[in-house]
């Protein structure tokens, strides 16, 4: 069954540390996305990719990097984690057409202390 799998499900990180959130999809979708979800802000786009080797900035990219080494994998990297990055992060995949819906992962809950 095609799916989007995120790891880890939960993460506690220290301020200033490096955090990597991973996402793997078996949908063979070209496009992948990273969102964060916060109360009062909904889902906000951080980075996206339209294929292996590509990454693009979304609406709130500051403090985040992304990496797409293959069609299946898309990582979100926090080089210097801050408490303001405490959030729930969702990865999604979709086809490269306007009417394509997303398949979401189950989310990663990140706490930066």
Partner 1 sequence: AQKVTQTQTSISVVEKTTVTMDCVYETRDSSYFLFWYKQTASGEIVFLIRQDSYKKENATVGHYSLNFQKPKSSIGLIITATQIEDSAVYFCAMREGNYAQGLTFGLGTRVSVFP
Do residues 15 and 112 lie in contact, with contact meaning Cβ atoms separated by under 8 Å?
A: yes
State the Cα angle at 100 between 52 and 35, rounded to 5°: 65
The count of other CB atoms within 10 Å of the CB of residue 93 is 27
* Rounded Cα gap, residues 11 and 19, in angstroms: 9
Name which position in 28, 70, 84, 106 contacts partner 1 (CB under 8 A): 106
| Nearer to partner 1 among residue 2 and residue 17 (C-beta) | 2
Decide: is 88 part of the binding site for partner 1 (CB under 8 A). Answer: yes
Q: Are 5 and 23 in contact (CB under 8 A)?
A: yes
The one among 14, 43, 80, 113 contacting partner 1 by CB under 8 A: 43
Smallest distance, partner 1 to C-beta of residue 30, A: 8
Q: State the residues that interact with partner 1 by CB under 8 A.
A: 30-31, 33, 35, 40-45, 48, 50, 56, 58, 88, 90, 92, 96-104, 106-107
């Amino acid at each position: 069954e095609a799916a989007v799998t995120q790891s880890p499900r939960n993460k506690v990180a220290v301020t200033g540390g490096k955090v990597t959130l991973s996402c793997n999809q078996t949908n063979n979708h070209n496009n992948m996305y990273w969102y964060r979800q916060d109360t009062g802000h909904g889902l906000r786009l951080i980075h996206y990719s339209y294929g292996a080797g590509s990454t693009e900035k979304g609406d709130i990219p500051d403090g985040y990097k992304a990496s797409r080494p293959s069609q299946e994998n898309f990582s979100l990297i926090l080089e210097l984690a801050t408490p303001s990055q405490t959030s729930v992060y969702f990865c999604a995949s979709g086809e490269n057409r306007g009417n394509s819906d997303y398949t979401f992962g189950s989310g990663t809950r990140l706490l930066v202390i």
